Amino acid sequence: MSEKIDKQHELRKLIERYTWQDGVHQTSISSLFLIRESIITEPISRVNEPSFCIIVQGEKEVWLGEEYFRYGPWDYIVASIDLPVTGQVIKASADSPYLALKLEISPIEILEVLDTIDIHSGRSKNPKRAMFISEVVPSLLDAVIRLAWLLDNPKHIPILAPLFKKEILYWVLQGPHGEALEQIALEGSNAIRIRNVIEHLLNNYEKSFRIEELADIGNMSVASFHRHFKEVTAMSPIQFQKQLRLQEARRLLLAESSDIADVAFRVGYESQSQFSREYSRMFGFSPRADINRLRESHKT
């Protein structure tokens, strides 16, 4: 345990060195981001891209549909596909800020590791939840530290960063939830069919759809599609679309001087009253009150 604590301390120092202020910091490694927050944050709703994230200090909560994830030091969280989530840093202070490392991943990179180790023979074809938390093991922590160490030694990034990233994916695939990551890269799997539907929804969230149309995109029966979609995303296709619409509406209202009726229409609602009800249910405030509150908080 003391060795693991020492390694975590080493990673914490690396993250602190490259996060001079609160926020998400892009690094010289294109898919690697470092995160620092010195206060407990507002719940933030966004589409979480496929990624691996490890916390070295502080704690965070993430909601996926009605499912709740809480993680901190010793844990990592993986999202294997694009998912609309709400996250909140729940433990952070100026003296002990929330510190995390996020690594974006792709199905192609996962498949490259799988092709090398042939880990996927004989596994179940039933899709798994596309988000999971697991305990960090020393071998995985070593690989993460090696990747972060490259920030101090940028001349080695072109050659070593892809190798260390593969090693991180290898240890995740070897872990207790590896199948959930593996399935998103295997051609013909039900998870890939659901991923194709999700890509369609991300690109057409403002349009109405029939479940039969989505099932056709996934090449599934309606019953099978509905079951597998919920297994992967923890929500129904309609709930998934609703979260996408409301997240985009919030972004538009915060970024632009658009009126509520116009934004509601742009994200696909025909009724402003329905939009306002669903917005309030998701974010806890009416659209106008929520945007005024967020703008005031950004001033302070």
Residue 122, pLDDT score: 46
Asked if the model's pLDDT at residue 1 lies above 70, the reply is no
Fold of 243-299: Arc Repressor Mutant, subunit A (1.10.10)
Fold of 187-238: Arc Repressor Mutant, subunit A (1.10.10)
Binning pLDDT at 50, 70 and 90, where does residue 188 land?
confident
Per residue in 273-300, pLDDT (tens digit) is: 999 999 999 999 999 999 988 887 766 5
Q: What is the 3-state secondary structure (H, E, C) of the chain?
A: CHHHHHHHHHHHHHHHHCCCCCEEEECCCCCEEEEEECCCCCCEEEEECCEEEEEEECEEEEEECCEEEEECCCEEEEECCCEEEEEEEEECCCCCCEEEEEEECCHHHHHHHHHHHCCCCCCCCCCCCCEEEEECCHHHHHHHHHHHHHHHCHHHHHHHHHHHHHHHHHHHHHCCCHHHHHHHHCCCCHHHHHHHHHHHHHHCCCCCCCHHHHHHHCCCCHHHHHHHHHHHHCCCHHHHHHHHHHHHHHHHHHHCCCCHHHHHHHCCCCCHHHHHHHHHHHHCCCHHHHHHHHHHHHHC
Per residue in 91-133, pLDDT (tens digit) is: 999 999 999 999 999 999 999 999 887 655 445 567 889 999 9
- Of the options 1.10.390, 2.60.40, 2.60.120, 1.20.1070, the CATH number for the domain spanning 2-184: 2.60.120
Whether this model's pTM surpasses 0.75 = yes
Per residue in 15-72, pLDDT (tens digit) is: 999 999 999 999 999 999 999 999 999 899 999 999 999 999 999 999 999 899 999 9
Asked if the model's pLDDT at residue 85 lies above 80, the reply is yes
Residue 125, pLDDT score: 65
Domain ranges of the chain: 2-184, 187-238, 243-299
Asked if the model's pLDDT at residue 6 lies above 80, the reply is yes
- Evaluate whether 2-184 and 243-299 have a shared fold: no
Per residue in 198-253, pLDDT (tens digit) is: 999 999 999 999 999 999 999 999 999 999 999 999 999 999 999 999 999 999 99
